[in-house]
């Protein structure tokens, strides 16, 4: 039986992935940890402990004590926050990954999952249908840390036969846990403001199209990749993954179909330059061929669910 450790279980991906993993592997076999307190359903449905991923001694004790066989490392400082505190973000993003890769090699962990991002690409990368293999010159701290992280994952695979799997996540949209500190966060904030105040001031320009994905697709992709037959996987850095691509103006138009009086205004800040350095859409044919990836949610379907669920949550 697999024993799974989720690091960053209180975050945007972690809080939903932990619950999904518990459905597959059993509640008691998925150990959730985070540096901060987790949502109620994460704490209620199985084991949860406060733990700092930078505390490598405690981590190794934990892994040995609970006979952990798989690790999902989801703790990270996202793009916007990383530009505010570059050296700290670099330290957290890189040291946490290196701690886990080396611990996994030493202890003999079966599989590691680590999230990469579309931030690995930069201004010199082809912007539309960005291929799996292409020019990668990221110019953000977050992007540099994700590209370096991908190289380390592949290095541990080649050198130590460590089975590390990774996805270059697009912007993730969820109604359960908010992200925090990312460039694509506007696409979540906009729904809350549309419902609560009827208007939203966007920190990106109207035409800043970016690759995005609804969280249920991202969770399913993660589990499908982790369950894929190892012999089929040709990428040991990070898989391109595509869901929906849209701009703030297109998202606002979609919201207006359900909330006709919704108004959007634009006040681009430093995150506009980050968005401009990233692809507008992603070619994920390698993921589709290797492990049969297929997304389900489009902009219309996602927006309807987001509005319905956030209204419920806010009691509107
Ligand atoms: C961010 O905006 O920083 C993240 C990402 C695309 O990795 N959502």
What is the set of domains in the chain, with CATH numbers?
Answer: 4-170+216-240 (3.40.50.720), 172-212+242-280+297-314 (3.90.25.10)
Give, as one character, the DSSP assignment of residue 33: E
Between CA 124 and CA 148 the distance in angstroms is 17
Residue 168 CA to ligand 1 centre (angstroms): 10
Contacts 24+ apart (CB under 8 A), 150-158: 150/116, 150/120, 150/237, 150/238, 151/237, 152/97, 152/98, 152/101, 153/97, 153/101, 153/112, 153/114, 153/236, 153/237, 153/238, 154/236, 154/237, 156/101, 156/104, 156/105, 157/236, 158/236
Q: Which of 82, 121, 183 to mutate to test the pocket of ligand 1 (most atoms within 8 A of CB)?
A: 183
Ligand 1 atom with least separation from CA of 184: 2
Is there an atom of ligand 1 within 6 Å of 119 CB? yes
Q: What is the pLDDT of residue 120?
A: 98
Residue pLDDT, tens place only, 188-208: 999 999 999 999 999 999 999
Ligand 1 atom with least separation from CA of 170: 6
Nearest CA among 210, 53, 77 for reference residue 144: 77
Residue 185 CA to ligand 1 centre (angstroms): 8
What is the dihedral angle through the alpha carbons of 209, 289, 120, 223, rounded to the nearest 10 degrees?
Answer: 90
Backbone angles phi, psi at 4, to 5 degrees: -110, 130
Single out the catalytic residue among 25, 72, 142, 169.
142
Catalytic (active site) residue 142 = yes
Q: What is the pLDDT of residue 165?
A: 98
Q: Answer for the pair 279, 122: CB distance below 8 angstroms, yes or no.
A: no
Q: Identify the segments of the chain with pLDDT beneath 50.
A: none
pTM above 0.85, yes or no: yes
Most distant CA pair in the chain: distance in Å? 58
Q: What is the pLDDT of residue 207?
A: 98
């Amino acid at each position: 039986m697999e024993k799974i450790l989720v690091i960053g279980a209180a975050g945007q991906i972690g809080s939903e992935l932990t619950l999904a993993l518990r459905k597959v592997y059993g509640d008691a076999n998925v150990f959730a940890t985070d540096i901060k307190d987790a949502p109620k359903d994460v704490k209620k449905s199985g084991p949860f402990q406060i733990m700092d991923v930078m505390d490598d001694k405690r981590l190794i004790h934990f892994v040995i004590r609970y006979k952990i066989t798989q690790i999902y490392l989801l703790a990270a400082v996202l793009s916007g926050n990383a530009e505010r505190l570059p050296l700290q973000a670099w330290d957290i993003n890189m040291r946490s990954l290196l701690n886990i890769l080396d611990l996994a090699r030493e202890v003999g962990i079966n599989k590691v999952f680590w999230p990469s991002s579309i931030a690995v690409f930069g201004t010199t990368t082809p912007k539309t249908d960005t291929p799996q293999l292409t020019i990668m010159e990221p110019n953000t701290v977050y992007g540099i840390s994700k590209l370096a992280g991908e190289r380390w994952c592949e290095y541990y695979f080649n050198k130590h036969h460590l089975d590390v799997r990774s996805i270059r996540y697009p912007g993730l949209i969820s109604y359960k846990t908010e992200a925090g500190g990312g460039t694509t966060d506007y696409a979540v904030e906009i729904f809350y403001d549309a419902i609560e105040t009827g208007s939203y001031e966007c920190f990106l320009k109207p035409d800043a199209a970016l690759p995005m994905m609804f969280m249920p697709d991202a969770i399913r992709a993660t589990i499908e990749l982790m369950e894929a037959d190892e012999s089929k996987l040709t990428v040991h850095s990070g898989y391109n993954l595509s869901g929906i691509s849209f701009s703030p103006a297109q998202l606002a138009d979609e919201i207006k179909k359900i909330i006709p009086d919704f108004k959007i205004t634009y006040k681009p800040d430093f995150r506009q330059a980050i968005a401009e350095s990233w692809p507008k859409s992603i070619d994920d044919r390698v993921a589709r061929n290797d492990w049969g990836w297929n997304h389900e949610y489009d902009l219309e379907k996602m927006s309807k669910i987001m509005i319905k669920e956030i209204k419920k949550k806010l009691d509107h």
